[in-house]
Amino acid sequence: MSKRYFGTDGIRGQVGSGIITPDFILKLGWSVGTVLKRSDPNDEHTVIIGKDTRISGYLFESALEAGLSSAGVHVRLLGPMPTPAIAYLTRAFRADIGIVISASHNPYYDNGIKFFSRAGLKIDDAMELAIEAMMDEPLKMVDSAYLGKAVRIDDAPGRYIEFCKSTFPNSLSLSKLKMVLDCANGATYHIAPHVFEELGAELNIINNYPDGFNINEDCGSTRPERLCKLVVAEGADLGIAFDGDGDRLIMVDHLGHIVDGDSLLYIIAKHAHEQNQLQGGVVGTEMTNLGVEHAFQQAGIPFIRAKVGDRHVMSMLKEQGWLIGGEGSGHLICLDATSTGDGIVAALKILAVICENNKTLHELQQALLKLPQTLLNIKVSEPKVVLQNLAFQTAIKQTEQSLGANGRLLVRASGTEALIRIMIEGHDAALNQRLAENLAAVIQ
């Protein structure tokens, strides 16, 4: 069955339009609670709710709380917390479901809802379909004697900080590293600085003063330009950037060069392989640079590609029984440490490799020779309509013919925004750019 509301990463859209409205979110909370109650009517159920720092989070937190309570489900409110923190705390609190109010790397005027299961994993298709089906039923409150209670958990940040630190080897310290940390004015603003400082790092922290509107604004993992300049100006060893909800990681080496998710995935997996700790192989996506695939082949590391999206990467990891996967955007999954993509945990993995090998971030990726890639995002009102357009399909075939066997083309609709994403990869960077711009012109 096709889904009406859920996309590749929960439910997302612009606040006040479409379905991202208070009445829809209240009904969504009731639907989630009712699905839980009907699955086991005799049990008490608890849901935890966290959010990032965008202004609409207050509104939707209240709406979800009211909906869940009206279904007879108890609520624990965590306040601003990274998405992976909700995955961890759902397990720690033995909650039935964890809910994150966030639109990840999107601007403040977007928002969304993500769900984690009791195991700290994204909920499955069956659960999403059950929730959508419940949205069609009339909202019926439980008797007032059975309404759910809401409690605010004040020590949630401390619990997650200690968890993150526990993933870094006790034998190592960050005391010799000077780092610039970009919190994207998002959910890591009061978490990440404590983690790295308590492990000994010298920090220059930027974009850690969220005001409800500046989340992801010219900062964080999607806009690391300022971070690159600061790392060089400060003479820092490296820079770390998260996105608004803390599940993406991009780093910067001491020369001011961006080290993207593909390179970070290579560093983590290669080190695990050298330590005989890599269980099986590595999962990337259709977007993973071909140079990464070649580097894994040379190292004797199995590599397969999933569809774009951390949900698909996770599914393939589970299918293969492997531990490490990720995307160039910075979604990195390390199942030996946690149950979902976690920017802070992934950063600690990289820092541990740096400390153990006494090498710079720049040196660790020297063996990785990536092919030039051109990435374009084209705003459209109806991505699916564009993809089905005959003129555009013809242009795609012509582009593939121009690339021949020496390049790759991937055109897809974004799963989180109204965009057509174009990726062209090949040895000739100028040709890549020209072909991508030609496709963009056809769209426009």
Question: How far is the C-alpha of 223 from the C-alpha of 258, rounded, in Å?
Answer: 11
17 counts as catalytic = no
Residue 248's nearest CA partner among 159, 342, 162, 165 is: 342
Structure tokens of 303?
Answer: 């590599």
Length of the chain in terms of residues written: 444
Query: In the numeric block, which tokens belong to residue 2?
Result: 């096709």
- Which secondary structure element, helix H or strand E, spans residue 91, and what is its range? helix 83-92
- Catalytic entry in 104, 263, 329, 414: 104
| Whether 112 contacts 102, CB under 8 Å | yes
| Residue type, position 382, single letter | E
Separation of alpha carbons 319 and 305, rounded Å:
13
For residues 319 and 88, what is the distance between their CA atoms, to the nearest angstrom?
Answer: 22
Amino acid in the structure at residue 220 = G
Q: How far apart are CA 182 and CA 189, in angstroms?
A: 9
Q: Going by C-beta distance under 8 Å and a sequence separation of 6 or more, which residues neighbour residue 186?
A: 52, 53, 82, 210, 215, 216, 220, 242, 243, 244, 245, 246
Residues with Cβ within 8 Å of residue 382, at least 6 apart in sequence: 418
Residue 117 parent element (H or E): strand 110-117
Distance in angstroms (rounded) separating the CA atoms of residues 300 and 264: 18
* Sign of the CA dihedral with 123 first, then 125, 127, and 131 last: positive
Residues belonging to the active site: 104
